[in-house]
Amino acid sequence: MSAGTKANLEAIAAVFRLELRKTFLARRGLWVYLLALAPFVLFLGYTVQNKIEAQQRQELAAHNQKPLAAADFAAIHRGMTEAEVLARLGPPARQFRFGRRRRAANDTIELRLDARFRYSDGSALYDIFLEDGKVMNVRPHPAPTLGDVNLLFATVFQFFYLRLAVFFGCLGIFMNLFRGELLDKSLHFYFLAPVRRSHILAGKFLAGLAAAVVIFCGSAAVQIWLLGRQPGVSGLGHMGAYLGVTALACLGYGAVFLAAGLNFKNPIVPAVALLLWESVNPFLPALLKKISVIYYLTQLCPVSVASGPGVSPLFALLVAAPAAISKSAALIGLLLVATVVLVYSARRVRRLEIDYSAD
Amino acid sequence: MTAAVEFDNVSKFYGEVLGVNRIHLAIPPGITSLVGPNGSGKTTLMNLMTGLIQPTRGRISVLGIAANDPERLFRKVGYCTQFDSYPSGATGREFLENYLSLFGDARAARRQRVGRVLERVGLEAAADRKIAAYSKGMRQRIRLAQALAHDPQVLVLDEPLNGLDPLVRADTIALFRGLGAEGRAVILSSHVLHEVDAISDQVIMLSHGYVVAEGQIHGVRSELRDHPIQIRLQGARPREMAARLLQPEPGQELLEVLEVVVGERELLVKVRDAPAFYLALNRLAAAGAIALEGVASADDDAGSVYAYLVGAAGSGGGGQ
């Protein structure tokens, strides 16, 4: 390694070291941690609910007078009487009875007796709804399968985590790298040192990226670990792919928000503009789609939300990448977008003037 | 003498607002003060010579290095701005060590330099306290330490005496003098004009973005021929002294005196040709015609000179 390259790397490393602590412990960045933790809290609730239901399935199954299977519940159909249900399934483990007033045809008020019977076959809960002693509906609550959990995570990951949590988290981290110091009137700490401005930018960007990757990949890893511990689910797959996509999201959005911080005083303006741009991405012409971060990220996600069962067409349109490209092309595309934006930022920072009185 | 800082036809506009215009300067080593009121362009000049802002037109070099080449420039230049740049929670020592880490120094060398500069600005005792707990004067000194830490050849100091108590102020002025005597260029702005007189080897007077005068104060003053020079003569019998000056005895020369104001133990005299007056005054004193106890220039200072140049309103000084 030449002496010049070594000196350049040392300068970048010096800025990186100084920025890293600041970026992790920035007071105005505390909400970034909250954003990153939000899905974890959601999944924690989901896990607790699943654990409770699993326990309930076992407890209720123990009350059955005879062993029950899914076929027994499939045999229960609308219109069966309560006596027929009890004859087939035995008394329910839990039952709720309640009266309802209703207006009859002759304009008199009559009382209707409804009931809900809850059974379990050990692997699913079943609610049987009865009106006036006749079966109206049978609703099964099966334990979530690996596919269900995969789809749930993929949906939250693509629709909330990437598009909102990582997006706004990167806004908080990367816009502050320069704009925050201009507001604090402290950017001259670096600008008065014998370090090329592009190296200052590189050091700051890498520190921001390291912080964003640790925070968001860390959170994603914990989420995946947590979801993989659902009853009956033995580990969620694709962890490596999800962490890779999260890191790339930090890279892409980080580069964009770093550039925004060099050009805008108010972070709301670029945030809203970029959020709109990323949101309308599916509706854009093919060429414009490619000038985006989410376009490439959705291509790289290991599970397609749009192809999942029960997905509405509008939702599928919003989250899907309509013109699929290969994963390697998506990776190169994203890296290209980030590189172009970073090169622009390096040119911009060279001309950046510190005039605090004007800020 | 080779100039430390050169401005070659430099102008800076903030949009349509003038910062400085058509500046030609060659600032030599020694202590140079930038004098002018708010908005006169002092900080703009300092920011230009340290590359924090770019000129709209013209060229600036510091020790032959372009101002937009930070890698080379800031090995030779230290700039003490008016603004704090401390990471929250840092102690004075940590702050300086962090700054020097950007110079690529090894840790041991950094520590040594930090120790030296803390001693130089008188902050060794407070070095391991958090800067957030520093007084205004201590913050000013830690900023000064930052500018001095890497032992620069050119020091640019924006209002460096602000917030310092009289004792520290005197020490700091002595520090500047020492740096100037070592052949470094110390360029400072100050709104306290009597301090400028005490510190500076030369002044650069600015008004509304233009340099209105530059050079040694006495030299600038002597160029202002439209304004009579005021000389204060001290003696026990000022009235008698005034009579001798205005109506000499036969055989004594008539001094060209424009105005005389008699005080309690002094006489304020306005003359057009100061050297000729001083010569004649010496002769009178030597002949015993006047009992002179002391002679001093009454308007040969930065404040008076600035007031003559740009009007009394402009002599207040200030910080832009």
> Measured between CB atoms, does A15 come within 8 Å of chain B?
yes
The reply to whether residue A186 touches residue B103, judged by beta carbons under 8 angstroms, is no
Q: State the SS3 of chain A.
A: CCHHHHHHHHHHHHHHHHHHHHHHCCHHHHHHHHHHHHHHHHHHHHHHHHHHHHHHHHHHHHHCCCCCCHHHHHCCCCCCEHHHHHHHHCCCCEEEEEEEEEECCCCCEEEEEEEEEEEECCCEEEEEEEECCEEEEEEEEECCCHHHHHHHHHHHHHHHHHHHHHHHHHHHHHHHHHHHHHHCCCCHHHHCCCCCHHHHHHHHHHHHHHHHHHHHHHHHHHHHHHHCCCCCCCCCCCHHHHHHHHHHHHHHHHHHHHHHHHHCCCCHHHHHHHHHHHHCHHHCCHHHHCCCCHHHHHHHCCCCCCCCCCCCHHHHHHHCCCCCCCHHHHHHHHHHHHHHHHHHHHHHHHHCCCCHHHC
Name the helix (H) or strand (E) containing B179: helix B166-181
Task: Give chain B positions within 8 Å (CB) of A18.
Answer: 87, 98, 101-102
Instruction: Calculate the dihedral angle through the C-alpha atoms of A7, A12, A14, A20, rounding to the nearest 10 degrees.
Output: -170
Q: How much of chain B is in helix, strand and coil states, percent to nearest 5?
A: 40, 25, 35
Nearest CA to B195 among B303, B87, B74, B52? B303
> Measured between CB atoms, does B54 come within 8 Å of chain A?
yes
What was the ipTM of the complex prediction? 0.76
The reply to whether residue B86 touches residue A186, judged by beta carbons under 8 angstroms, is yes
In the predicted structure, residue B282 carries a pLDDT above the cut 90: no
Mean pLDDT, residues B239-268 = 79
- Smallest Cα distance from A139 to chain B, Å: 58
**Minimum Cα–Cα distance from A356: chain B residue:** B83
> Measured between CB atoms, does B79 come within 8 Å of chain A?
yes
Q: Quote the pLDDT of residue B315.
A: 46
Task: Give chain A positions within 8 Å (CB) of B104.
Answer: 7, 10-11, 14
- Smallest Cα distance from A312 to chain B, Å: 50
> Measured between CB atoms, does A66 come within 8 Å of chain B?
no
**Minimum Cα–Cα distance from A22: chain B residue:** B87
What size, in residues, is chain B?
A: 320
> Measured between CB atoms, does A356 come within 8 Å of chain B?
yes
| Local structure of residue B248 (DSSP, 8 states) | P
Best probe of the A interface among B69, B85, B94, B142, by most A CBs < 10 A, is B85
CA distance A197 to A12: 10
In the predicted structure, residue B157 carries a pLDDT above the cut 90: yes
In the predicted structure, residue B114 carries a pLDDT above the cut 90: yes
What lies within 8 Å, CB to CB, of A105 at 6+ separation is none
Q: Quote the pLDDT of residue B317.
A: 41
What lies within 8 Å, CB to CB, of B292 at 6+ separation is B233, B234, B235, B241, B281, B285
Comparing CB atoms, the residue among A18, A188, A351 nearest residue B81 is A188
List A113's β-bridge partners, or say none.
A99
In which residue are the tokens 């013209």 written? B58
Q: Quote the pLDDT of residue B252.
A: 63
Comparing CB atoms, the residue among B14, B71, B103 nearest residue A358 is B14
**Minimum Cα–Cα distance from A192: chain B residue:** B74
Comparing CB atoms, the residue among B72, B83, B101 nearest residue A185 is B83
What lies within 8 Å, CB to CB, of B220 at 6+ separation is B203, B205, B213, B214, B305
In the predicted structure, residue B163 carries a pLDDT above the cut 80: no
CA distance B155 to B171: 17
Comparing CB atoms, the residue among B52, B74, B75 nearest residue A354 is B52
The reply to whether residue B85 touches residue A197, judged by beta carbons under 8 angstroms, is no
- Main-chain phi, psi angles of B230, to 5 degrees: -100, 130
**Interface contacts (A, B; CB < 8 Å):** 76
Cβ count within 10 A of residue A182: 19
> Measured between CB atoms, does B319 come within 8 Å of chain A?
no
- Smallest Cα distance from B83 to chain A, Å: 6
Q: Contact, B32 vs B203, CB < 8 A? A: yes
Mean pLDDT, residues B29-41 = 88
CA distance A266 to A340: 23
The reply to whether residue A191 touches residue B51, judged by beta carbons under 8 angstroms, is yes
In the predicted structure, residue B103 carries a pLDDT above the cut 70: yes
Q: Which of B61-65, B128-132, B165-169, B238-242 has the lowest mean pLDDT?
A: B165-169
> Measured between CB atoms, does B87 come within 8 Å of chain A?
yes
pLDDT range class, residue B72, cuts 50, 70, 90:
very high
Q: In terms of C-beta density within 10 A (0-12 exposed, 13-18 middle, 19 or more buried), how is residue A67 classed?
A: exposed
Extract the tokens encoding A82: 């309560």
Best probe of the A interface among B17, B102, B139, by most A CBs < 10 A, is B102
pLDDT digits (tens, 9 = 90+) for A235-290: 677 888 999 999 999 999 999 999 999 988 888 888 899 889 888 877 778 788 88
Q: In terms of C-beta density within 10 A (0-12 exposed, 13-18 middle, 19 or more buried), how is residue A130 classed?
A: buried
pLDDT digits (tens, 9 = 90+) for B198-221: 788 898 988 889 998 888 877 766
What lies within 8 Å, CB to CB, of A49 at 6+ separation is none
Mean pLDDT, residues B274-302 = 78
Q: Contact, B268 vs B230, CB < 8 A? A: yes
Mean pLDDT, residues B30-51 = 90
- Smallest Cα distance from A195 to chain B, Å: 5
Q: What is the pTM of this model?
A: 0.80
Q: Quote the pLDDT of residue A123.
A: 86
Low-confidence ranges of chain A (pLDDT < 70): 234-235, 306-324, 356-359
In the predicted structure, residue B316 carries a pLDDT above the cut 60: no
What lies within 8 Å, CB to CB, of B262 at 6+ separation is B238, B239, B242
In the predicted structure, residue B314 carries a pLDDT above the cut 50: no
Q: Contact, A203 vs A77, CB < 8 A? A: no
| Local structure of residue B86 (DSSP, 8 states) | P
Task: Give chain B positions within 8 Å (CB) of A21.
Answer: 87
Q: In terms of C-beta density within 10 A (0-12 exposed, 13-18 middle, 19 or more buried), how is residue B160 classed?
A: buried
Q: Contact, A141 vs A124, CB < 8 A? A: yes
> Measured between CB atoms, does A178 come within 8 Å of chain B?
no
Chain A from 189 to 218: CB within 8 A of any B CB: 189-197
pLDDT range class, residue B294, cuts 50, 70, 90:
confident
In the predicted structure, residue B193 carries a pLDDT above the cut 80: no
The reply to whether residue B52 touches residue A193, judged by beta carbons under 8 angstroms, is no
The amino acid that residue B97 corresponds to is E
Comparing CB atoms, the residue among B54, B83, B98 nearest residue A188 is B83
Task: Give chain A positions within 8 Å (CB) of B50.
Answer: 192
Cβ count within 10 A of residue B170: 12
CA distance A345 to A118: 62
